[in-house]
Structure 1
Amino acid sequence: MHPRHFLTLLDFTPDELRRVIHRASELKHIRDQGQLHEPLRGKVLGMVFEKSSTRTRVAFEAGMNQLGGSAIFLSPRDTQLGRGEPVEDTARVLSRMVDIIMIRTYGHEVLERFAEYSRVPVINGLSDRFHPCQLLADIQAYEAHRGSIQGRTVAWVGDGNNMCHSWINAARQLDFQLRIAVPEGYDPDPDLIHAGGDRVSVHRDPREAVEGVHLVTTDVWASMGQEEEAKARMKAFSGFCVDDALMGLAAKDAVFMHCLPAHRGEEVSASVIDGPQSVVWDEAENRLHAHKALMEFLLLAQE
């Protein structure tokens, strides 16, 4: 039997995604009540990081420990991948030694090749194409504050990057409208936009995209690995800062999200991210619970 992987949101059915998100909220409640819950005792998570991280590492490592298991952190200095070992060989060996693997990397094709040769579930902790684990936490946060996201409208303001791609997949899977505000030249993958159908629209004016929406979300303008483009991006994204004036165009009960880390004064103003409409800190905490629910699903639901 081939293992289930989680490389994009499309790897699960809509019902499975809702199940994981609901379970994440249950696990958050269990944690808040101080109850011990260790269904993954004896299980080992291998964490392969080619890109540095704060939230992803802590959420997966702490989450696996809270579920009774253990986690092994592997940086490029700690693996033969950093010395040129084929991805396929590392996958064959590592998956014989651990029960589940999370990879945070640059190229999405690395994840796909690793998963093809892995005996155990592989999770995308972030790639240049998608960041599906973040979306689990985001949807969990929205629904905790405002109820089901189905039928709602979300505005993405900023770069057509991996987060934007995952929001497109989320709109397809969970049945909501997504308006993408992005300057020309920074659009998300046109194939993904096409696949999103009438649930996804692209706008050049962020004010048009944000008008009346229920959720506004953004990300840094220059992601890891794009530092040399920072100056050009600052110019291109001028006018795309989510400030009080832009948030004021959204619905009165709209919430603001950011996957973090944030650059106050660039993609978002301090008054918005630290203001009453922001659910950023719940969103960040939810990474812990969403990752736990995901690992439970991949390791236990298939048994």
Structure 2
Amino acid sequence: MMEAALKVPAEGSADVLRGRDFLALVDYTPEELMYLVRLGIELKKKQKSGETYHPLKGKTLGMIFEKASTRTRVSFEVGITQLGGSALFLSKNDIQLGRGETIADTAKVLSRYVDGIMIRTFAHRNVIELARYATVPVINGLTDLSHPCQALADYMTVLEYKGKLAGLKVAYIGDGNNMVHSLMMGAAKFGMHMAVSSPDGYEPDAGVVQLTKEHAAQTGGSYTFCRDPKEAIAGADVVYTDVWASMGFEQEQKDREKAFSKYQVNADLVRYAKPDYLFMHCLPAHRGEEVSADVIDGANSIVFDQAENRLHAQKAIMAALMG
């Protein structure tokens, strides 16, 4: 399960975050997360204006990929390049982890070579162990339990569109997977109201739900679970969904199609959300399955803005932790 929140000084000082790991949103205070969100927006403005900003000049990010990715690899590699540093791609075939070297030894060796490590893998415990033995910042690029970089980029995007986060309602319709876990914790940290709707047997992890409720109680946010997607989406400011069969669960595709048949985000369902709702999806999307084409390609969809913001949110994380 995710580690307990760390008690550290609040917003405003980059020194607070230097050298930290970014494993899960629960590890950061609301002020620290908002600092990263706003830093991401500032770095985006610098890049769009053509301003050169190289706080990571001469630094290298080692990127371990045990799961394939489009957005994660490109956004991290381009991101650290824009910050003046360089990236080293390491697939499972490029390093000795796949041949029996321990995570601890890998962490200790890589720490002698690089200034930060990003890992995209399966078991969350592997990321925690990597961070325990590494002496450089470790960033969670995705595990089966959480996807914190994506969630940070998502809330950065919502802030850009809505001008605030606290008090907004986020409705997630679909599989109770790593994506919703990070969305739930982010909503709790930012004082938002999170409603989740999933079919029987596909609910979010009970431990993550409990942590979400605890943190929401401290910020004025809330968490609710609704079996009926119409109930969950009612009055939502943000509507979010994800693929029905995440990476590693492809063999369950047919069973999941049956289980999720009433959980498609389509024109009939989004009528229950606010008229100016934002539609979000972490991509890749399967049009005609978890979302209809008219919704994801419609006027309320901001999926490509959130995809772009992976670049800028992760630049904020790297600049703050590795700077």
Q: Same fold (TM over 0.5)?
A: yes
Give me the whole-angstrom Cα distance separating, in 2, the residues matched to 1:259 and 1:214: 17
Counterpart of 1:97 in structure 2 is 113
Counterpart of 1:56 in structure 2 is 72
- Which of 260, 267, 281 is the equivalent residue of 1:237? 260
Give me the whole-angstrom Cα distance separating, in 2, the residues matched to 1:68 and 1:193: 39
Q: Deviations over 1:112-139 (max 9, x none)?
A: 1100000000000000000000011100
- Corresponding residue pairs, total: 300
Counterpart code for 1:63: G
Counterpart of 1:256 in structure 2 is 279
- Which of 108, 111, 119 is the equivalent residue of 2:124? 108
Give me the whole-angstrom Cα distance separating, in 2, the residues matched to 1:128 and 1:201: 22
Give me the whole-angstrom Cα distance separating, in 1, the residues matched to 2:70 and 2:63: 13
Give me the whole-angstrom Cα distance separating, in 1, the residues matched to 2:160 and 2:271: 22
Give me the whole-angstrom Cα distance separating, in 1, the residues matched to 2:168 and 2:66: 36
Counterpart of 1:246 in structure 2 is 269
Verify: 1:217 aligned to 2:235, yes or no. Answer: no
Question: What is the Cα deviation at residue 46 of structure 1?
Answer: 0.3
Give me the whole-angstrom Cα distance separating, in 2, the residues matched to 1:22 and 1:111: 26
- Which of 45, 52, 60 is the equivalent residue of 1:29? 45
Counterpart code for 2:39: R
| Unpaired segments ≥5 residues, structure 2 | 1-17
Q: Note if contact 2:145-2:178 (Cα within 8 Å) is conserved in structure 1.
A: yes
Moved segments of 4+, more than 6 Å: none
Question: What is the Cα deviation at residue 195 of structure 1?
Answer: 2.2
Question: What is the Cα deviation at residue 261 of structure 1?
Answer: 0.2
TM-score with structure 1 setting the length: 0.97
Counterpart code for 1:192: V
Q: Note if contact 2:152-2:186 (Cα within 8 Å) is conserved in structure 1.
A: no
Q: Deviations over 1:31-53 (max 9, x none)?
A: 11111111110110000000000
Give me the whole-angstrom Cα distance separating, in 2, the residues matched to 1:3 and 1:20: 14
Question: What is the Cα deviation at residue 292 of structure 1?
Answer: 0.4
Verify: 1:160 aligned to 2:176, yes or no. Answer: yes
Q: Note if contact 2:19-2:322 (Cα within 8 Å) is conserved in structure 1.
A: no
Counterpart code for 1:292: K
Question: What is the Cα deviation at residue 149 of structure 1?
Answer: 1.2
Counterpart code for 1:157: I
Q: Note if contact 2:30-2:189 (Cα within 8 Å) is conserved in structure 1.
A: yes
How high is the sequence identity, in percent, across the aligned residues? 53
Question: What is the Cα deviation at residue 252 of structure 1?
Answer: 1.1
Give me the whole-angstrom Cα distance separating, in 2, the residues matched to 1:274 and 1:44: 37
Q: CA RMSD in A?
A: 1.2
Question: What is the Cα deviation at residue 15 of structure 1?
Answer: 0.5
Show the 5 A alignment for 1:35-54: 35-54=51-70
Greater Cα offset, 102-111 or 166-175: 166-175
- Which of 281, 297, 303 is the equivalent residue of 2:320? 297
Question: 3-state DSSP class of the match of 1:123?
Answer: strand
Question: 3-state DSSP class of the match of 2:274?
Answer: coil
Counterpart of 1:207 in structure 2 is 230
Give me the whole-angstrom Cα distance separating, in 1, the residues matched to 2:276 and 2:120: 34
Question: 3-state DSSP class of the match of 2:61?
Answer: strand
Counterpart code for 1:171: A
